[in-house]
Amino acid sequence: MNIPWRRSVRSVLAVVIASGLMTGALTPARAAGDGAQPSRTTTPPAKPVDPDYTAAVNAIKADKFPAAIPLLEGVVKRDAANADAYHWLGYATRKSGDPAASIPIYQKALAIDPKHKGAHEYIGEAYLMLGNLPKAKEHLARLDSICLFSCEEYRDLKQAVERFEKNGGKTSGTR
């Protein structure tokens, strides 16, 4: 549901935060709502990236979706809590021509990370490919609540929904 005043509140909040950051009145931590000062300790080392995950994302970027699927299936088998891997697996599956099979994969990503913007966008697009506008709009509404100041995923799914409605229930140009 799009509440008209929500966008204006977001705009005002963005200006307040930006001016506070620029004047030094707010640290990034305070802007995020945390009154504590930023930690002076070093960040723990990042978890090493699975080489199959990297290879799969590179295959997807090269439009080699079927090649990415077994790589990502291996990644999620080894790391069942990897929402990003499920997201990309759903994407590769959908782009390989099986939007119905991508839905439960995106749902796994969203079960792990209910605020995964990419999974919400792409499951919405999969629902549009299947002609299910109400389900696509559910994910558009979810993105609207997740994206405080709008976000690319929200804008992209909104455009896909608008194209779907304009084209009389046909998809065209989904990512």
* C-alpha span between 118 and 154 (Å, rounded): 9
pLDDT > 60? residue 3 = no
Q: Mean of the per-residue pLDDT values for the chain?
A: 81
Task: Region of 159 please: left (phi>0), alpha (psi -120 to 50) or beta.
Answer: alpha
pTM for the structure as a whole:
0.71
Each domain of the chain, given as residue ranges in start order, spans: 1-34
pLDDT > 90? residue 43 = no
Q: pLDDT band at residue 49, thresholds of 50, 70 and 90?
A: confident
CB atoms within 10 A of CB 81: 9
* C-alpha span between 126 and 132 (Å, rounded): 9
User: Quick one: tokens of 58?
Assistant: 């590179």
For residue range 130-167, list pLDDT tens digits in order. 999 999 999 999 999 999 888 999 999 999 999 999 98
